[in-house]
Amino acid sequence: MNGLLIIGAGGHGKVIADIASALGQWESIAFLDDKYPELRQVLDWPVIGNIDNLGMYRRDFAAIFVAVGDNAIRKKLMKWAETEGFELPVLIHPRAAVSRFAVIGPGTIINNQAAVNANAKIGKGCIVNTGATVGHDCVMNDFVHVAPGASLAGETAIDDLCWIGMRSAVIEQVKLGVGVVIGAGAVVLENVPDHKLVVGVPAKIVKDLTFSD
């Protein structure tokens, strides 16, 4: 059966279900969530179980979308879904602007009013959130979250598991290492090494981050 199973029925899951419904590509949409069986329904869609026995849903659901905001947890769950043989679709909101020359990896969401420009390359399991911008020739690796209103200028390079905070900006040709976190509203003018928290205008490193893959 051509169904879409969404892991996570929280706020991000609601957004994913809404977009998937608008796209009209699946015969059915349902959630898995750890709050089941107390949680049985979210908006128009049923919560049918938790993730303990993921493989049992393979007959009725060809595809899974992992709707979890935490980058490391999303990575773990996506790898599990792949192992179980599920498809990992790309979701692009009907009102997003995505260049036909951009490359978008599996399990990635491009949200409402986001822009992805020519020759940008976005990896698997990424979130390009509402109103975010990914500039031309940007290379974004896997499991990155670009928060609402954030901007990545042209030719930036964003490594795995980065978090680009709300309304922050990264100027052209800047490189961010693995697991970098950019605080909300920060303006990043220079390269940032792995596992650093940067905040402010201009952005400065304020903390070394403990990294868990």
Q: How buried is 77 (Cβ within 10 angstroms: 0-12 exposed, 13-18 middle, 19+ buried)? A: buried
- Which of 155, 154, 149 is closest to 185 using CA atoms? 149
Dist. CA 141–CA 37, nearest whole Å: 36
Please confirm, yes or no, whether 136 is among the known catalytic residues. yes
Instruction: Using CB atoms within 10 Å of the CB of residue 1, give its burial: 0 to 12 exposed, 13 to 18 middle, 19+ buried.
Output: exposed
Given 12, 136, 145, 195, the catalytic residue? 136
Q: Which residues are catalytic?
A: 136
